[in-house]
């Protein structure tokens, strides 16, 4: 009997005995693991809800800053876009005009804003020219901002005070050569498309007419109508109403062909100055550190709104041709535009002020 071992003794020597009944320790462990899992799941759900809420955009009005006075072409376009965003996406928008300092007061407001998508800049090509026309520009208009979208282009128009006699550019140049001190150009802002077109006008005509800078299109146009200055080149959409009302004389458009908006006005070449082909363009920018997902969302949303405006014929009534460019395209276009414009300014002997 001493040499005989029970089955339990054999098992106990070879391997530990596994009981089919859970021990008290095992039950406690299982409850701890279950509690930990449930706690983790609950935390994940809370975090998930928080992230979803954080990504909800927008949950308050988006401020669209226009760095020029109300009543100009940029302002008109921005208001159309803001209204379309409300109609199509339910976005609440507020247009805020911040004119002054060649458009940089509004630019600084956007540069210094929180990069949360609730403050954006709607401007023209004037924005990217700040360092070329100002001795002490307050920022780098490309590096210090997030490009969002390029949304439109438009030809410009040359208008003249109704108190002056010439009927076309040929007669204007002839009169200005006789009495250059009697002729002054207004411009909405240094570095604006109209300013660059004015410099091109002087260069192509062989004149050097004085250029006076205003704080936007509206005050410049009013002074042309009143005869305080004689000439202005600016976007068609801003000048056409007063030209059609004979408050100023519309002499020509600065495009290769007549604009469908006002086909009765000749091109600059037809009016006597070949080579004067300049246009303005419009874009949207945000603060530099605007998150990439917000940049992409704003770009897509704004471009879609502009597309709807184009389909409805609303852009055509302003003389604007739709452009649909994403952030990378806008940034590359801006750099090329600055390079070309800087060459024009250099050729004309322009000095930043």
Among 35-49, 116-130, 307-321, name the one with the lowest average pLDDT. Answer: 35-49
Asked if 279 and 254 touch (Cβ cutoff 8 Å), the reply is yes
**172: containing domain:** 156-278
| Model pLDDT, residue 189 | 86
Number of structural domains (the chain) is 2
CATH number at residue 331: 3.40.190.150
| CA 115 to chain centroid | 15
Cα(209)–Cα(201) distance, rounded to whole angstroms?
9
Cβ atoms < 10 Å from Cβ of 313: 8
The residue that leads in pLDDT, 101 or 25, is: 101
- State the pLDDT at residue 260: 83
Q: Match 């706690």 to its residue by tokens.
A: 39
Is 170:272 a contact under the CB 8 Å cutoff?
yes
Among residues 247, 278, 309, the one where a domain terminates is 278
Burial tier of 115 (Cβ tally within 10 Å: 0-12, 13-18, 19+) = middle
Confidence category of residue 27, pLDDT binned at 50, 70, 90: low
Domain membership of residue 33 (yes or no) is: no
**Is residue 223 situated within a structural domain?**
yes
| 197-222: pLDDT as tens digits | 999 999 999 999 999 999 888 899 99
What is d(CA 240, CA 253) in angstroms, rounded to the nearest whole number? 10
Instruction: Compute the residue count for the chain.
Output: 353
The band of 12, judged by pLDDT with boundaries at 50, 70 and 90, is very low
178, two tokens: 């006789």
The answer to whether the beta carbons of residues 221 and 234 sit under 8 Å apart is yes
E-state strands within 126-278: 145-160, 184-187, 210-213, 231-235, 249-253
Does residue 330 share a domain with residue 294? yes
What local confidence, expressed as pLDDT, does residue 317 receive?
83
SS3 call for 40: helix
Check whether residue 270 and residue 160 sit in a common domain. Answer: yes
Residue 168 shares a structural domain with residue 273: yes
Rounded mean pLDDT of 147-176?
96
Tell me the pLDDT tens digit for each residue of 240-289: 999 999 999 999 999 989 988 889 999 999 999 999 999 989 999 999 99
- Whether residue 133 lies inside any domain: the answer is yes
Q: Is residue 273 part of a domain?
A: yes
Say which range, 40-49, 127-136, 266-275, 331-340, has the weakest mean pLDDT.
Answer: 40-49
In DSSP terms, 333 is beta-bridged to none
The reply to whether 46 falls in a domain is no
Residues 139 and 284 in one domain: yes
CA distance 45 to 41: 6
Flag whether 19 is in a domain.
no
Write down the pLDDT at residue 4: 39
Both tokens of residue 297? 């969302």
Q: What is the pLDDT of residue 43?
A: 47
More confident residue, 25 or 350: 350
The CATH number of the domain holding residue 194 is 3.40.190.10
Shared-domain flag, residues 97 and 137: yes
Q: Which of 51, 62, 128, 52 is nearest to 96 (CA)?
A: 62
- pLDDT value, residue 31: 58
């Amino acid at each position: 009997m001493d040499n005989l071992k029970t089955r339990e003794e054999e098992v106990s020597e070879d391997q530990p005995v596994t009981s089919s009944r859970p021990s008290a320790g095992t039950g406690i462990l299982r409850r701890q693991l279950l509690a930990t899992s449930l706690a983790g799941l609950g935390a994940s759900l809370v975090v998930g809800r928080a992230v979803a809420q954080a990504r909800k955009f927008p949950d308050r009005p988006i401020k669209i800053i226009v760095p020029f006075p109300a009543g100009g072409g940029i302002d008109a376009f921005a208001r159309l876009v803001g209204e379309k965003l409300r109609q199509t996406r339910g976005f609440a928008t507020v247009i805020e005009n911040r004119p002054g300092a060649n458009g940089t007061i509004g630019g600084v407001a956007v540069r210094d804003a929180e990069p949360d998508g609730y403050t954006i800049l709607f401007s023209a090509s004037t924005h990217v020219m700040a360092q070329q026309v100002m001795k002490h520009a307050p920022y780098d208009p490309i590096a210090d901002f997030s490009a969002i979208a390029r949304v439109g282009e438009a030809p410009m128009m040359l208008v003249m005070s109704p108190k002056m006699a010439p009927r076309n550019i040929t007669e204007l140049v002839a009169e200005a050569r006789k009495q250059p001190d009697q002729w002054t150009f207004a411009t909405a802002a240094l570095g604006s498309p109209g300013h660059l077109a004015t410099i091109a006008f002087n260069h192509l005509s062989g004149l050097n007419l004085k250029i006076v800078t205003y704080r936007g299109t509206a005050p410049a146009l009013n002074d042309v109508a009143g005869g305080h200055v004689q000439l202005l080149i600016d976007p068609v959409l801003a000048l056409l109403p007063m030209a059609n009302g004979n408050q100023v004389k519309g002499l020509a458009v600065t495009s290769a062909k007549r604009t469908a908006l006002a086909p009765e006005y000749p091109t600059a070449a037809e009016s006597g100055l070949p080579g004067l082909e300049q246009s303005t363009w419009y874009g949207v920018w945000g603060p530099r550190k605007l998150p990439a997902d917000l940049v992409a969302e704003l770009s897509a949303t704004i471009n879609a709104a502009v597309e709807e405006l184009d389909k409805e014929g609303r852009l055509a009534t302003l003389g604007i041709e739709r452009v649909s460019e994403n952030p990378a395209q806008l940034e590359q276009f801006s750099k090329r535009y600055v390079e070309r414009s800087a060459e024009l300014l250099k050729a004309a002997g322009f000095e930043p002020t």
